[in-house]
Structure 1
Amino acid sequence: EIFLLFSNCSILNFVEMIFLRLILKNNVSVERVETLAWERDWYLHDFIPPTDEEVYEQIWLTQDENTSIHYVEDPLIGIRYLFIDGLNQVEICDKISSSLDIFRREEIFNMVHTAVSAEEYVRAIYHVGIIANHDYNMEIFEIFKLAFAHPETKVRNAAILATAYVGWREFEELLRDIIDCDPEEKVRDFANFTLKSLQSKNWEPNLNDSPRLVIV
């Protein structure tokens, strides 16, 4: 059974619509990320300890303060990732990718294509949601379309939640279809809540007031 617990807490606030994210593999510790930051002469700008209202986050700035690198541990989806904001994003991403073990796009797409259980599909769609950046991508959109039509309720809910990490306006039609046609009332309510939340924020991919998904 799936319960939706609505929260007024801020899960993650993005500084701008333009962003890039890299998902860390399990063998990359937070200490390794900190070491990379010191090696690259980034300085620690802020530290947010985990609470009921905040995710664990370290915010590093480049020396010119034009780029911020956010280390995030997101318990809502069970993923640790780096969020890069500001100037020189591609350059910073290249430096990180050459130093840390991160998920490549093809690896994440393979997660989707090889998923057998609902749990594997949920994990895959969360990863897809994190690597999607501000630019619309047809291949990623088609993955979401398939997830929205999945027979398992938990997969459809995961796809709805993942749209809040992306914020593409193209999701509006998919969410409306769920609101109108999904057989589960709680899924319809979740889609309606997510759509209204994204619309109220002009489709910016932040998770303020986002619903928490609890599967039991």
Structure 2
Amino acid sequence: MAVDNAVRLVPRVADPFEETMALIDRLGWVPSANSSDELVEWQVPGGGTVVRWVVDGDTGVQFFVVEGPDRERVAGEIASSIDMLDAENSEHYLSRSDDVDWVMRGLYAVAAAAPDQHDQRIVDLLTRHMESPRPLIRRAALLATAITGWAEFVEPVSRFTGDPDPAVRDAAEAALHGLTSGR
């Protein structure tokens, strides 16, 4: 899910529509002609910075991508207005429910919010979920490792190619493919 020369921000609230609309109005972003059903794009006034709202079709994760010369400043403005998921609050985010669907979506969101360089807190969190007694959680955690693209996951993920559950084995193979082909 990485985007070169961009900042990716994953909101802690699944669809921060009201906060986003207030931010757009306050900062004067202009809608772009590049918008579609999966992607909404705005131009930031003042030269070349673009903000995109993306819904990942595979995971359902919703996130902002900020590209352009002022990407760090604009990302900071977004993060100061909308509560974002990061390595520090990922554990708490996932602990809000033990519902399988929530945990699966949460694992994908945590992975999407992960920094480009490995963070041990995220490694530990995903690794712990790979050991879940529930195959759906193991599968989601394995697929989430591929979203991070971190080489640190290759060894732990490879252990699951022999999992008793065929869907978990398939997820391990898919994750290994993703991990070895880059984020």
Considering the TM-score relative to the shorter chain, is it more than 0.5?
yes
1:186 aligned to 2:167? yes
Query: How far, CA to CA, are the matches of 1:106 and 1:138 in structure 2?
Result: 11
- Report the TM-score when normalising by structure 1: 0.70
Name 1:41's counterpart in structure 2.
Answer: 28
1:153 aligned to 2:135? yes
Per residue, is there more strand in 1 or in 2? 1
Q: In the TM superposition, what is the alpha-carbon distance from 1:106 to its structure 2 partner?
A: 4.8
Q: Which has the higher contact order (CA 8 A, sep 6+)?
A: 1
1:77 aligned to 2:59? yes
Query: How far, CA to CA, are the matches of 2:12 and 2:98 in structure 1?
Result: 23
Name 1:3's counterpart in structure 2.
Answer: none
Q: In the TM superposition, what is the alpha-carbon distance from 1:121 to its structure 2 partner?
A: 2.5
Identity %: 23
Q: In the TM superposition, what is the alpha-carbon distance from 1:73 to its structure 2 partner?
A: 2.5
1:21 aligned to 2:9? yes
Runs of 4+ residues over 4 Å off in structure 1? 101-107
Q: Give the AA of the match of 1:149.
A: E
Query: How far, CA to CA, are the matches of 1:156 and 1:17 in structure 2?
Result: 32
- Report the TM-score when normalising by structure 2: 0.80
Over residues 148-200 of structure 1, what are the superposed CA-to-partner deviations in whole Å (9 max), with x where a residue is unaligned?
A: 11111110111122223221121211221111x31112211222123224423
Q: In the TM superposition, what is the alpha-carbon distance from 1:21 to its structure 2 partner?
A: 1.6
1:199 aligned to 2:180? yes
Name 2:77's counterpart in structure 1.
Answer: 95
Q: Report the aligned-residue RMSD.
A: 2.7
Specify the SS of the correspondent of 1:20.
Answer: strand
Residue number among 84, 88, 93 corresponding to 1:111 in the alignment: 93
Per residue, is there more helix in 1 or in 2? 2
TM-aligned CA distance change 1:112 to 1:24, over 3 Å: closer
Q: In the TM superposition, what is the alpha-carbon distance from 1:74 to its structure 2 partner?
A: 3.4
